[in-house]
Amino acid sequence: MKSLQEIPWLDQAAANENQGLLHPRRIVPWRLNLYRIPWLRPLIESRWPQFLVRSLTLAGFVFTIATGLSGSIVGSHNFAIIFVWIAWWSALKLVFIPLGGRSWCSICPIPLPGDWLQQGGILSKGRGLGLNLHWPKRLKGSWLQSSAFLLIGLFSALTLTAPRVTGWVFVALFGLAIGLSLVFEKRAFCSYICPIGGFSGIYAQTAPVELRVIDKEICAKHGDKSCYHACPWGLYPVALRDSAACGLCMECLRACPKDNLALNLRPFGTDIGKARTANRLDSVRSLDASFLALVMLGSALAFTAVFVGPWGWLKSAAFAIGSLRWVGYAAAFLGLNLILLPGLFSLAVWSDRQSSKVRLPLKQEIANQSQALLPLGLFAWIAFTVSFALPKLGYVPGVLNDPLGWGWKLLGAGYTFWSPDVSGFSSVLQIILLLIGLFWSANVAWRLADSDYRRAGPIMAFCLAFSLGMLWLLIG
Amino acid sequence: MRREVLARLLIILLLSAAIGIPAVAWGKRSQEIVVHARMAETGGWAPENLTVPVGEPLHLRLTSDDVMHGFAVGQSDQPPVDVIPGEMTDVTLVFDQPGKYTFYCTRWCSVNHWRMRGTIEVTGPTTTTETVKPPLYVTLGLDIDTQHQADVIPAQKPSALRGALLQQSLPSVYLNREYYLTHTPLELWKALRGEQTLQKFSDQDIWDLAAWVWQLNTTPQALSEGQQLFEANCAACHGEKGSGNGVFADQLAQPDTENQTDMQMGEKTTRPVDFTDPVAMLSASPAHLQGKIIRGGMGTGMPYWGPIFTEEQTWALVAYLWTFQFEMEVKP
């Protein structure tokens, strides 16, 4: 993610444009610009529909904190646990990310108060508060997001089951988001800290939605850069090479006076499978994204082992925070994510590089090849969600009936919990999901290796080993 | 500008609802008594001491914060109810006598299950002047903590049915209830063995006669009630067959020294008593067993049941304990 000043080729782009070197405006194949659909356009153009949805998610978020802190301490009967970790999590993993990329970011309530303080108003701009400092260069990239996700993993057994802890974690996230927006410019929390933003971002590259400039020529001629100034994320749409950083807030579409921005439907996985050469690597993808992709794989394994696996001792070790057993769990979890998976993957990339004719630096090869991990990671999380969250969806009406666990009967007196029985088809479904992920990843690896099986082999083997591990944990 | 005001109003309205609904509910909640049940290790009942004036209804909303518990009030006819995690069980209690009542957990929730007890102080003018009668073992001056061992034990389990066939030869002095309550089966056996009229009987016959005397002092109904009480309250440690191997027995025999709560409670526990062991059982009197039940084991982990069982229930339980030694007729 770069701010305008940091995009090295930008001046060059204008120069190229002057020399008539840019491609002429053309219709991009396989794209459907949703912003040009007559009935959809007003819904995006007006800030109200999005604002209404966001004000509801904000109220829901605050209600979740309130119920988490004051409601029943029994997780399965508390709105906070069921709505966040079952309903929202399922929606995020099964719908928002695979079909919409960072679409959750477009309605996420967490950055709202910070945005309003920064711009001094909700819909209009006034005198904003805050220091508007630049985010420190050393902390850029997704390293902090990876760390935040690892931190969640360490305490997941408690966070996902204890309503009080969920409540306080949310208070902390909310406070951090507001605090950072008063110190730093734009959405520092979303861009560099939020773990959900982190993994939504990497998997958004596989999703069939993108926000792109239609014609760069028009942008080059347009001196105001209204879109850049409107973007709460500090992005310049012309510079978007993939969808990892764009939060789909639609502000640039609203700001562009030339109607030169498109919200496109596109084929799945458009952003991945293209090897990047040295000078293009700097744009977005670097080792931080590779590390995040590996952390997501490791966490999928760990979460599945703890929450779905048959080992009671593992569950209680993950739960007994601070105890010696938990320290063991934490060491294993961190070892898996910081040493084992990065080590194996680096080894795979290294042996891939050995049989390559053009040898790029190893770091860059790792960054390139890690694209192949994205489809597999996405589908591993979907498969985990199918076995973790779907059987518990039956609790959702229950907590609507009695959100605080105080014996309310909002939906009627005789309401009983039902639990959908997914045991029959879920293992078949999980195999299918993992197979899709594996084949898609193998395909990406194949393309990255220029269809050379000796080169793609090690990465494919890594993906296969991960799939088998995941399959063993899920189905056993 | 109007749009901005509208947007701000909407946000204020929604946020007030999001905070207000739980807050109002929280306020209303305090008017009822919500009693939270947790395993004794993590706090037991909260609140654990309740007060209510005599004759006035006490509305309780019971919920569990961990596993399934049960709720019952000692020495009352109130049927026990289950206390389920995350659900509310409503109970209304009315007490017609002032005094201190004990409520307790009726589900084997943990090894310290029996520690889940609380009190209900029922206040009001005392209507009866009935003085509390000390339990029999106190009146008798029985030391129920001494070691007791039978030096003679039967070769096979004595049968009340076989004893009944020999009954006409039994001197009537052994048949009154006072004798039964205050003597051990061994004492009865030795006394009968010394009777001239019973010389012709074998040792086993005399044991059968003793079993018959013991059965005579109870009823099939009482035995059945005793069995229910035993299975609900005692079997967790003493085992369903009375042989001292209930589900918590091993934990009691080897208290987990790493477990802080045990150490905090200053508890040293021992293996639960085996009621099928004739050496110990035949040298104990009903008064002795009743004393153990109502007072508890003092440093063994055996709870006290005085505030929970009525006197009738205690005697029914004592009578049932003898079925582990004697073949007796228990009403199914």
- State whether the Cα torsion B188-B194-B195-B200 is positive or negative: positive
B328 neighbors B211 (Cβ within 8 angstroms):
yes
Name the strand (E) or helix (H) holding B37: strand B33-37
Contacts of B1 in chain A (CB under 8 A): 124
- Read off the pLDDT of each residue in A447-455 and give the average, rounded to a whole number: 86
Cβ contacts of B68 on chain A, cutoff 8 Å:
none
- What are the residues whose beta carbons fall under 8 Å from the beta carbon of A188, sequence distance 6 or more? A135, A180, A181
For residue A33, being part of any structural domain is answered with no
Bigger pLDDT: B230 vs A1: B230
Residues B39 and B67 sit within 8 Å (Cβ to Cβ): yes
B20 in a domain, yes or no? no
CB of A63 within 8 Å of a chain B CB? The answer is yes
Residue with token string 């409601």: A71
CB contact under 8 A, A122 and B4: yes
Q: Which residue has the tokens 């590996």?
A: A294
Q: What is the CA radius of gyration of chain A?
A: 23
Phi, psi of A127 (to 5 degrees): -85, 110
Give the range among B50-59, B175-184, B259-268 with minimum mean pLDDT.
B259-268
- Contact call for A59 and B18, based on CB within 8 A: yes
Q: If pLDDT is split at 50, 70 and 90, which confidence band does B269 have?
A: confident
Q: Do the beta carbons of residue A78 and residue A63 sit within 8 Å?
A: no
Domain count, chain B: 2
Lowest mean pLDDT among A325-329, B230-234, B262-266: B262-266
Provide the β-strand partners of residue B62.
B35, B89
Domain-embedded: residue B79: yes
pLDDT at A365: 87
Closest by Cβ to A66, choosing from B11, B19, B87: B19
DSSP B234-269: IHHHH-TTSSS--TTHHHHHS--TT-HHHHHTT---
Domain that holds residue B43: 33-123
Does position A26 have pLDDT exceeding 60, yes or no? Answer: no
Query: Three-class SS of residue B119?
Result: strand
How far is the alpha carbon of A55 from chain B, nearest alpha carbon, in Å?
A: 6
B61 touches chain A (CB under 8 A): yes
Is B86 in contact with A55 (Cβ distance < 8 A)? Answer: no
Q: Give A148 to chain B, closest Cα distance, Å.
A: 28
DSSP annotation of B282 reads T
- The answer for B 88-107 residues in CB contact with A (under 8 A) is 88, 90
Assess B20–A contact: CB distance below 8 Å, yes or no: no
Q: Which of B96, B123, B150 is the last residue of a domain?
A: B123
Beta bridge partners of B104: B72, B117
Judged by DSSP in three states, A210 sits in strand
**Do B101 and B191 share a domain, yes or no?**
no
26-55 in A: which are within 8 Å (CB) of B? 51-52, 55
In a domain, A209, yes or no: no
- Confidence class of residue A29 from pLDDT cuts 50, 70 and 90? confident
pLDDT in tens, B93-107: 888 888 889 999 988
- What is the DSSP code string of A426-452? HHHHHHHHHHHHHHHHHHHHHHHTTT-
Residue A219 falls within a domain, yes or no?
A: no
User: A242-246, A341-345, B124-128, B201-205 — which is least confidently predicted?
Assistant: B124-128
Report pLDDT for A281. Answer: 46
Query: Of the ranges A103-117, B107-121, B129-143, which is most confident?
Result: A103-117
Tell me, yes or no, whether B86 and B135 share the same domain. Answer: no
| Residue A414: predicted pLDDT | 55
Contact B86 A407 (CB under 8 A): no
CB contact under 8 A, A67 and B22: yes
Residue B52 belongs to some domain of the structure: yes
DSSP state, residue A162: -
With respect to residue A157, please indicate whether it lies within any of the assigned structural domains: yes
Q: Which residues in chain B are contacts of A407 at CB distance < 8 A? A: 61, 63, 87-88, 90
Asked if pLDDT for residue B85 goes beyond 50, the answer is yes
Question: Using one digit for the tens of pLDDT, what is the confidence trace for A191-234?
Answer: 999 999 999 999 999 999 999 999 999 999 998 899 999 999 99
Has residue A74 got a pLDDT over 90? no
Whether residue B174 sits in one domain with residue B68 = no
Continuous H helices in B135-285: 136-139, 160-165, 177-182, 185-194, 203-216, 220-229, 235-238, 249-253, 260-264, 278-281
Asked if residue B2 belongs to a domain, the reply is no
Tell me the pairing of strands A261-265 and A32-33: antiparallel
Q: Are residues B165 and B292 in the same domain?
A: yes
Which residue stretches of A216-340 are H helix?
Answer: 216-221, 226-230, 251-255, 278-281, 287-303, 312-319, 324-334
Q: Domain check: are B179 and B259 in the same one? A: yes
**Residues 6 or more apart from A83 whose CB is under 8 A from it?**
A60, A64, A396, A399
| Domain final residue, candidates B123, B140, B173 | B123
Q: Does A71 contact B at CB distance below 8 Å?
A: yes
> CATH number, domain at B310?
1.10.760.10
Backbone angles phi, psi at B73, to 5 degrees: -110, 130
> Cβ contacts (< 8 Å) between A66 and chain B: which residues?
18-19, 21-23
CB B35 within 8 A of CB B44: no
Q: Note the pLDDT of residue B131.
A: 63
Residue at B228 is within a domain:
yes
B98 and B140, same structural domain?
Answer: no
Tokens of B61: 């909303």
Q: Is residue B18 included in any domain, yes or no?
A: no
What does the pLDDT read at residue B226? Answer: 93
- Chain B nearest CA to A213, separation (Å): 29
Residue in chain A lying closest to B34 (CA): A406
What is the share, in percent, of chain A residues with pLDDT greater than 70?
A: 89
Tens of pLDDT, residue by residue over B273-314, are: 899 999 999 999 999 999 999 888 777 778 888 888 888 999
Q: Hey, what are A205's tokens?
A: 């590259």
Domain that holds residue A463: 47-202+275-475
* Number of domains chain A is built from: 1
Determine the pLDDT at residue B46.
87
pLDDT at A55: 95
Q: What is the pLDDT of residue B29?
A: 62
Question: In whole angstroms, what is the distance from residue A14 CA to residue A3 CA?
Answer: 17
Residue A117: Cβ-neighbour burial (10 angstroms; 0-12, 13-18, 19+): middle
Of B123, B140, B161, the position where a domain reaches its end is B123
Quickly tell me which residue has 């999901």 as its tokens: A433
CB atoms within 10 A of CB B197: 10
Q: Who's near A58: CB < 8 A, 6+ residues apart?
A: A109, A112, B11, B14, B15
Distance (Å, rounded) from C-alpha B44 to C-alpha A147?
39
Whether B97 is covered by a domain: the verdict is yes
- Lowest mean pLDDT segment, chosen from A126-140, B229-243, B253-267: B253-267
Phi-psi region of B75 (alpha: psi -120 to 50; beta: other; left: phi over 0): left
Percent of chain B having pLDDT more than 90? 31
- Tell me what pLDDT residue A433 has: 94
Contact A74 B34 (CB under 8 A): no
Q: What is the pLDDT of residues A252-301, one digit of tens each?
A: 999 999 999 999 999 999 888 887 655 444 444 478 899 999 999 999 99
Q: Using the predicted structure, report yes or no on whether residue A419 has a pLDDT greater than 90.
A: no
Residue A188's pLDDT is what?
93
How far is residue A340's CA from residue A334's CA, in Å, rounded to a whole number?
A: 9
Q: How far apart are CA A60 and CA B281, in angstroms?
A: 65
The answer to whether position A442 is within a domain reads yes
Of the candidates A454, A92, A461, A445, the one whose C-alpha atom is nearest the C-alpha of residue A269 is: A445
Q: Do residues B184 and B276 both lie within one domain?
A: yes
Q: How confident is the model at residue A25 (pLDDT cuts 50, 70, 90)?
A: very low
| Residues B150 and B40 occupy one common structural domain | no
Which SS3 state, helix, strand or coil, does residue B10 take?
A: helix
pLDDT at residue A9 tops 70: no
Q: Are residues B135 and B264 in the same domain?
A: yes
Q: Is A106 on the interface with B (CB under 8 A)?
A: no
Long-range contacts of A217-224 (CB under 8 A, 24+ apart): A217/A17, A217/A22, A217/A24, A217/A25, A218/A25, A218/A258, A218/A260, A219/A260, A220/A13, A220/A14, A220/A17, A220/A22, A221/A17, A222/A257, A222/A258, A222/A260, A224/A257
DSSP H helical segments within A160-194, as ranges?
163-183, 188
| Interface check A401 vs B, CB under 8 A | no
Residues B236 and B294 reside in one and the same domain: yes
- Output the average pLDDT for chain A: 86
Contact B11 A63 (CB under 8 A): no
Contact between A85 and A156 (Cβ < 8 Å): no
CATH of the domain at B50: 2.60.40.420
Decide: residue B164, CB within 10 A, 0-12 exposed, 13-18 middle, 19+ buried.
Answer: middle
Q: Of the given ranges (A355-364, B41-50, B72-81), which has the lowest mean pLDDT?
A: A355-364
Closest approach of B86 to chain A, Cα-based (Å): 5
- Does residue B201 lie in a domain region? yes
pLDDT band at B130 (very low <50, low <70, confident <90, very high): low
In the structure encoding, which two tokens stand for residue A142, read together? 């997704």
- Residue A232 contacts residue A187 (beta carbons within 8 Å): yes
Q: B9 and chain A: CB distance < 8 Å anywhere? A: no
Q: Tell me, yes or no, whether B247 and B284 share the same domain.
A: yes
Count of other CB atoms within 10 angstroms of residue A163: 27
pLDDT of residue A415: 57
- Gap from B76 CA to chain A (nearest CA, Å): 27
Residue A91 pLDDT greater than 90, yes or no: yes
Q: Over 80: is that where the pLDDT of A442 sits?
A: yes
pLDDT of residue A27: 57
Average pLDDT, chain B: 85
In the prediction, which pLDDT does A241 show?
A: 85
Q: Is residue A17 part of a domain?
A: no
B138 lies in the same domain as B110? no
Q: In this predicted structure, which of A3-7, A120-124, B286-290 has the lowest mean pLDDT? A: A3-7
Q: Residue B255 has what pLDDT?
A: 60
**Phi, psi (rounded to 5 degrees) for A209:** -130, 140
**Å from A405 to nearest chain B CA?**
6
